[in-house]
Amino acid sequence: MTEQDTLNQALATFMEEAGDLIRQMEELLLRAEDGDCAGEDLNALFRCAHTVKGSAGLFGLDEVVRFTHVVENILVKLRDGAIQFSPDLVSVLLASQDHIGNLIATVAEGGEQDTERSDELIARLAPWGTPQGQKGPEAGAKSRSVATVADPEVTSSGGGPMGADHWHLSLRFGPQVMTDGMDPLAFINYLSNYGRIIHLETMIDALPSFDDSDPESCYLGFEVALESDADKSEIESVFEFVAENARIVILPPHSKINEYLALIESLPEDSQRLGEILVNCGTLTERELQQALEQQATQAPTARLGEILMEQGAVRPVLVEAAAEKQRRGEDKRASESKTVKVPSERLDSLIDRVGEMVIAGGCTYAQAIKAGQPELQESASILMSFVKDIRDMVLRLRMVAIGEVFSRFPRVVRDVSKELGKDIELVISGAESELDKSMIEKIGDPLMHLMRNAMDHGIESAERRLAAGKPARGKVQLNAYHESGIIVIEVKDDGGGLDAAKIAKKAVEKGMIAEGANLSEQEIFRLVLEPGFSTADKVTNLSGRGVGMDVVRANVEALRGTLDIHSKLGEGTTMRLCLPLTLAIIDGFHVGVGCSQFIVPLDMVVECIELPPNTDHVDYIEQRGEALPFVRLRKLFGETGPVHARPRVVVARFLGKTVGLVVDRIYGKCQTVIKPLGPLFENVPCVSGSTILGDGEVALIIDVAQLIAGVVSSEWHRTHPGATAARGTPALAMSA
């Protein structure tokens, strides 16, 4: 890998992590608007901005650094209690957070930074902070009183102030700093953002012989004299990403004599040489160095750094004790921390493809073993299939992601849209922990975004209309997710005015979508809003009312083998329900046969199997446990003309509380199913969601139970079967999902 490749990889990692930090900033700022951001949340908010700024500086993203530094100063004041959150401040901080994300995205796209927008936001932030490029009067004083940032082993016992009017930094980077993707010189260069480097000394004493050296390891150290008005935390932040595996000592201007002695004693290089370097840096004069060395020979046993910090009044004794305890526990903590590995999604996709092929090959092996009639071979193939199933489950879990990753973007959307519409809307989220395949997570964001905006624009009424209707002035939009029958259900529910079936039907007649006087059920009328170009909005807004969007939502959901249902009650609200499969890759299936054709029913939707009662040739439902069970003959549905079985079976399937029977000729049992797309020629075949390859090499179609049930239980089905009579079903096969 070339140096440029390494840099690009590190930059990509920065982009990803910066995106997470910016999203966290948004979440914290929204909580601040509700008055729920204090204490550790304020610290976390500052760390987000601070980390983004520090990382951007390492990559030379000067505009990101410049703007984020201004935001960071405001967050420091909030954290210190110098200013308080207000609605106006939260609004401009949210806009600033958006701008930081846009600046970083522009870097990824290779575009130009929007400095005008930066300046505009800096001007809006000015009332809460100090002008750009300046620091408050407290900054200089703080930089003089701040304590040493030194290694815990550095010691001192007193001595009066001495040394020059600049900071002295002693840097010893860990050997692995370059293999971690960091450039030591980048940290040195970044210091210029906080002041002027007036002297730099490179230490090469740790450099091994040529034979013993590792070209990927760092053996250099640096002694730096920095002229700066920055405070301790700002200078320390430069080295935040390497502090754990480096030795960083920072001495403020006019430090005590014993602090310089402690620095010299703590470093591995020769003391006399280090003293000369301090003189060369202008940190000490020759006279001060001599005085320090003379005192060193006569001083009492040295004290720990914590005592120096207490002496300077920088920390309380209890903090020193806590820091010492933290240091003692440091190694144990690092050893116990869970390790995570980031893997590109395309590698997971490739792995799942291979596992899918392994499932097919394993099925073929098992089928051949049964055909051969050899018990030992059958047992071996059975064990192999159990391992394949375990591997399949583990690989699929690797791709499962909590849907909260998508839900987390909507609190900000609701806030902004509410303000734009002049409505007071509350968002309630539940089920964010429900998991879904990552490939689907990436595709449902846009449909959900449109449904949420539609609910706020069309669904929630104005405060005046709500109060007049006896409702609370504040509207409510609920975003809910839960698992059911091997699928995930996502609901967007509002407590608004609901859909007006009469108004929708009238509009549909005007557009020529239905005939006047057409006898449609309420559900069928509601589904008209999913047709292209259909809208009942009285006026066009920035959000909706142009007759586009809902048809795209439906198309996107159906492309994921899902369904979109609408439930509404006039005056009470509307629920948009998305039903999606958990994965698009591999499922457990229930293998059945009809004539010469093979079919797979998703196993999670199968309830039981029964025999089809005799004399049912002219009926479309049977009585099952005192209730009517409608059924569909797959032979008739798919035009199958193969041999008819003398004793057909009914596979009972359930989806979202609705049940249907599938009449088949043969039942083969459970199988692992690798989902294959049908291709453009067959992708619109009704009631089929995909295909798979069976163990014997035959192709089987995967039944879309959701679509099938939707057709069977609709009023359209009942209208086309007015003479249906019931027959009693007889339980047959003792099989239950």
| 368-420 pLDDT per residue, tens | 888 888 888 888 888 888 888 888 888 878 878 888 888 988 898 898 889 88
How sure is the predictor about 42, in pLDDT bands with cuts at 50, 70 and 90? confident
pLDDT of the residue at 292: 65
Who's near 342: CB < 8 A, 6+ residues apart? 13
Which two three-digit tokens encode residue 368?
A: 């051949």
From 21-30, 47-56, 145-154, 194-203, the region with the lowest mean pLDDT: 145-154
pLDDT of the residue at 322: 42
Mean pLDDT of 344-357: 81
How sure is the predictor about 272, in pLDDT bands with cuts at 50, 70 and 90? low
Of the two residues 110 and 29, the one the predictor is more confident about is 29
Q: CA–CA separation, 527 vs 553, rounded Å?
A: 12
How sure is the predictor about 510, in pLDDT bands with cuts at 50, 70 and 90? confident
pLDDT of the residue at 478: 94
* Alpha-carbon distances, residue 61 vs 101, 102, 106, 107, 195 (angstroms): 13, 13, 11, 8, 18
Of the two residues 624 and 491, the one the predictor is more confident about is 491
Per-position DSSP letters for 229-261, written without gaps between them = ---HHHHHHTTTTTGGGSEEEEE-TT-BHHHHH
Specify whether the CB–CB gap between 581 and 560 falls below 8 A: yes
Specify whether the CB–CB gap between 179 and 216 falls below 8 A: yes
Domain boundaries, given as residue ranges, for the chain? 3-134, 142-331, 345-401, 403-581, 586-736
Specify whether the CB–CB gap between 643 and 558 falls below 8 A: no
Q: Which residues of 496-523 are buried (b: 16+ CB within 10 A; e: fewer)?
A: bbbbebeebbebbeeeebbeeeeebebb
Kindly tell me if the per-residue pLDDT of 200 is higher than 90.
no
How sure is the predictor about 430, in pLDDT bands with cuts at 50, 70 and 90? very high
The three state secondary structure string of 370-389 is HHHCCHHHHHHHHHHHHHHH
With a pLDDT cut of 90, the percent of the chain lying above it is 12
Q: CA–CA separation, 542 vs 457, rounded Å?
A: 10
Kindly tell me if the per-residue pLDDT of 662 is higher than 70.
yes
Q: CA–CA separation, 717 vs 524, rounded Å?
A: 12
Spatial CA neighbour of 181 closest among 65, 55, 344, 340: 55
676 phi, psi to nearest 5 deg: -115, 140
How sure is the predictor about 733, in pLDDT bands with cuts at 50, 70 and 90? very low
* Collapsed DSSP state (helix, strand, coil) of residue 223: strand
Kindly tell me if the per-residue pLDDT of 495 is higher than 90.
yes
How sure is the predictor about 177, in pLDDT bands with cuts at 50, 70 and 90? confident
pLDDT (tens digit per residue) in 205-253: 778 887 787 877 888 888 888 888 888 778 887 887 777 778 888 888 8
CATH number of 3-134: 1.20.120.160
Kindly tell me if the per-residue pLDDT of 459 is higher than 50.
yes
Which two three-digit tokens encode residue 677?
A: 């797309």
CA angle (538, 541, 545) in 5-degree steps:
50
Q: CA–CA separation, 460 vs 199, rounded Å?
A: 65
Q: CA–CA separation, 61 vs 7, rounded Å?
A: 13
Kindly tell me if the per-residue pLDDT of 352 is higher than 60.
yes
CA torsion, ordered 265, 268, 272, 277, to nearest 10 deg: -100
CATH number of 586-736: 2.30.30.40
Predicted TM-score (pTM) above 0.75:
no
How sure is the predictor about 539, in pLDDT bands with cuts at 50, 70 and 90? low
Kindly tell me if the per-residue pLDDT of 305 is higher than 80.
no
Tell me whether strands 621-624 and 726-728 are parallel, antiparallel or unpaired: parallel
Burial (Cβ within 10 Å: 0-12, 13-18, ≥19) of residue 67: buried
Burial (Cβ within 10 Å: 0-12, 13-18, ≥19) of residue 632: buried
pLDDT (tens digit per residue) in 667-703: 998 887 888 777 777 766 778 888 888 877 788 888 8
User: What class, spelled out in words, does domain 142-331 have in CATH?
Assistant: alpha beta
Q: What is the largest CA-CA distance in the chain?
A: 114
> To the nearest whole number, what is the mean pLDDT of the chain?
77
Specify whether the CB–CB gap between 610 and 733 falls below 8 A: yes
* Alpha-carbon distances, residue 664 vs 589, 645, 687, 718 (angstroms): 15, 9, 15, 22
Kindly tell me if the per-residue pLDDT of 99 is higher than 90.
yes
Mean pLDDT of 137-150: 33
Superfamily the domain 403-581 falls into: Histidine kinase-like ATPase, C-terminal domain (3.30.565.10)
